[in-house]
A and B are shown apart, each in its own frame.
Chain A
Amino acid sequence: MKFRKYTYPNAEAWETQKALIVQTDEEGNESYNQSVVMVVELGHLVETPAVLDEEGEVVTEAVLSTDYCVDILWRNEPHADFVPTWVKPVGIHTFGSKHAAEYAKAYCEANPDAEYCNPPAPEEL
């Protein structure tokens, strides 16, 4: 299994790409095909949470990212048309520690010069 992260300029762009991994049964019900184990639509990430007043009413709306974020756990190799976004491991969401480790390894293979993959030499204490 392969854990990868993706960002899209908006939800509509994700819907377009999503069609590549969606199947429709004879009754018109949509589901993901066997290429994926799980898809989690993180959506527009919260950059600043909403502010509520003492009665619980929203005083200031949350500020959300413009990007639409999606995490996919692929059953085998990722679909070639899906271009991953290499977020520093493991970002804000995971499918478990084993998959997080796989993501971190792939991240360093794709970004060998990243600071995460080249930690400073341990200091003497």
Chain B
Amino acid sequence: MATLFDSASLALIPSGVKDGKVYSIKPTDGSGDFTFSRGTDTATRVNSSGLIEKERSNELLQSNTFDTTWTNSNTTETSGQTGYDGSSDAWLLTATGSTSAQIDQAKSFSSVHTFSVYAKANTSNFVELVTIGGGTNPRAWFNLSTGSVGTSYSTIDTNIESVGSGWYRCSITLNENITNYRIYIADADDSVAVTIGNSIYIQDAMLNEGLVAQPYIETTTAAVYEGITDNLPRLDYSGGASCPSLLLEPKRRNLFTHSEYFDGWTPSINGTGSAPVLVANTSDTLSPEGVNNAYKITLDAGAGTSLSDQSMIGSNGYGSLTIGNKYTFSIWMKGAVGGEELLSRSVTGAYTKHTLTTEWKRFEVTETASITSFNTSLGLRQAILGTLNSNITFYAYGAQLEDDGAGGSASYVSSYIPCMGTSASRAGDAIDLSTLPTLENNFSLHFKFIVKSDGVSERLYFYSDSVTGGQIQFFVLDSRKTRMFHKGLSSESTTSLTDNNITAVGDTYNFVLTIAPNSIKFFANGALIGENTIKVPTAIDSILDFENSQGLLMHGLYPTTLTDAEAIALTTL
């Protein structure tokens, strides 16, 4: 029995994507596939495991070819050794001098980043990872016999992780301007002395942004980027969805320079308060990213109960604010025991109180700026919004203060933009299909999405007829309504077809537009919402500006005018 789906000339159910492309399941010849662009590699999504996923990269060259690009000093490098992964891709690094036996790679890099390598003891038991720069040369020794971290200098964190067969992944995390990365053989902790002829095994060096080593990426003559890259469409599983939606967001900027490295924020202590205690990469809990890169923060405001008694952290950015514009502050937090209360403040002088649970939650505050420089504070301060517990321990990840980067507001929270030392921006997502087979006189459009935006007018899609200039435009309005506009010819003005109330952010909105000569009807969520008999668009041949903050679940085109019953069935949730 034929179904409505059988009659669709185009059906897009987001499931298959690649760089710059969103595949439609109908037609199958590729003519209905949408092109996609974003252009910035700062985007993230929630993946099918419910975890935040970023772009990943290895900035080192020749990441597992240590006899080219790398420079050696007092070493030889022998390939073909048995690796941690069972391959023969490991290297034997042998000392030919009695001190400073090392290989190094020149590379300028500045941000919060992590340098790592897999290593195994041979006749030497220590590997030292060294970074040159910043005046402090962050470095650390790792004992490959005991699997423990030795002495370290000027690092944010150090880590050694057993991967079996005597192999360990060793990493150091730092926040400095570095020009050179080195791997040393050593016979003992906190020493560069080594016995000539002693050696260790090494494999797969990596340099990536962020507080932890990412899954290894092989490189040769250029850095390699994987994950959510510039023009990869984002299939998003936010809210525990079992089926993905295509995340389409407008441009946004995160004004914070550090969104995960909270030691990059400034402590604010007053009265009876104590200095905040911050622990990077706590092993207490996995972050919303699914790795140990959350911060554990302990605050103590002391016994005082006055305005002056505070223990907070804060961030003052470079970016001037536009008074009167809306900015949205957000951060993931969870309490150590649940019930913790703390305050935040960002673009006004006012505080907002947050109550934590033992589950990660993204807390959001949208405010209209009343000051020209933001002054974000987070923590305990008494007598502002009542008396808070004098001390708390909580976990934090992913702070964001967003605007649109072009003098415009951000009146709702968007997906996370990581910042590892500089503010960062994400361009808007856009998909289009400019070679749509023309639909004339009798046709229907079906569109289903998850409401993401709140409190701002944004055009969601724009169909056009390149011959007549006719258009159909669909907006989500800041009045919590949707609105359909259309015009028949380019010379005619755009008129409003109908308004329809939408529900809340996170809800699904499902509509169909049926078009016949002298009749256009709009169905939403199982009901006929409006109809019109004037200025009916007679054709469409392209879909443009299919964008903005919604999660696209389905889009279909039908070369017939669906009946009212069919449209209602198709839009019933």
Query: 1/0 contact trace for A49-76 toward B, CB 8 Å?
Result: 1101011111001101000000101010
Q: Do B349 and A58 have beta carbons less than 8 Å apart? A: yes
In the assembly, what is the distance between CA of A50 and CA of B345, in Å?
A: 14
Q: Contacts of B500 on A, CB cut-off 8 Å?
A: none
Q: Do B423 and A89 have beta carbons less than 8 Å apart? A: no
B373 partner, pick from A46, A56, A75, A122, beta carbons under 8 A: A46
In the assembly, what is the distance between CA of A14 and CA of B59, in Å?
A: 34
A43 partner, pick from B130, B257, B320, beta carbons under 8 A: B320
Q: Do B108 and A116 have beta carbons less than 8 Å apart? A: yes
Q: Do A43 and B319 have beta carbons less than 8 Å apart? A: yes
A-B contact count (CB 8 A): 150
What is the CB-to-nearest-CB distance from B445 to chain A, in angstroms, rounded to a whole number? 21
A104 nearest in chain B by CB position: B108
Q: Contacts of A98 on B, CB cut-off 8 Å?
A: 41, 57, 223, 225, 229-230
A92 within 8 A of B: yes
In the assembly, what is the distance between CA of A122 and CA of B373, in Å?
A: 39
Q: Contacts of A100 on B, CB cut-off 8 Å?
A: 422
**Chain B interface (Cβ < 8 Å from any Cβ of A):** 37, 39-42, 55, 57, 59, 100, 104, 106, 108, 110-111, 130, 132-133, 137, 139, 179-180, 182, 192, 209, 223, 225, 229-230, 251, 253, 257, 307-308, 316-320, 322, 345, 348-351, 371-375, 405-407, 422-425, 427-428, 490, 494
In the assembly, what is the distance between CA of A58 and CA of B318, in Å?
A: 18
A38 within 8 A of B: yes
B372 partner, pick from A1, A50, A89, A123, beta carbons under 8 A: A50
Q: Contacts of A38 on B, CB cut-off 8 Å?
A: 39-40, 251, 405, 425, 427-428
Q: Which 9 A-B pairs have the closest CB atoms?
A: A56-B349, A96-B41, A37-B39, A62-B373, A119-B179, A40-B405, A38-B427, A49-B316, A95-B40
Q: Contacts of B39 on A, CB cut-off 8 Å?
A: 1, 37-38, 73, 75, 95
Q: Contacts of A64 on B, CB cut-off 8 Å?
A: 320, 372-373
In the assembly, what is the distance between CA of A26 and CA of B473, in Å?
A: 14
Q: Do B319 and A45 have beta carbons less than 8 Å apart? A: yes
Q: Do A41 and B407 have beta carbons less than 8 Å apart? A: yes
Q: Do A26 and B179 have beta carbons less than 8 Å apart? A: no
Which DSSP category, helix, strand, loop or mixed, fits chain B's interface? Answer: loop
Q: Do B223 and A101 have beta carbons less than 8 Å apart? A: yes
Q: Do A95 and B427 have beta carbons less than 8 Å apart? A: yes
B178 nearest in chain A by CB position: A119
* Contacts of A22-46 to chain B: CB distance below 8 A: 26-27, 37-46
A125 within 8 A of B: yes
In the assembly, what is the distance between CA of A31 and CA of B242, in Å?
A: 36
Q: Contacts of A7 on B, CB cut-off 8 Å?
A: none
Q: Do A46 and B494 have beta carbons less than 8 Å apart? A: no
Q: Do A27 and B132 have beta carbons less than 8 Å apart? A: no
What is the CB-to-nearest-CB distance from B74 to chain A, in angstroms, rounded to a whole number? 10
Q: Contacts of B374 on A, CB cut-off 8 Å?
A: 49
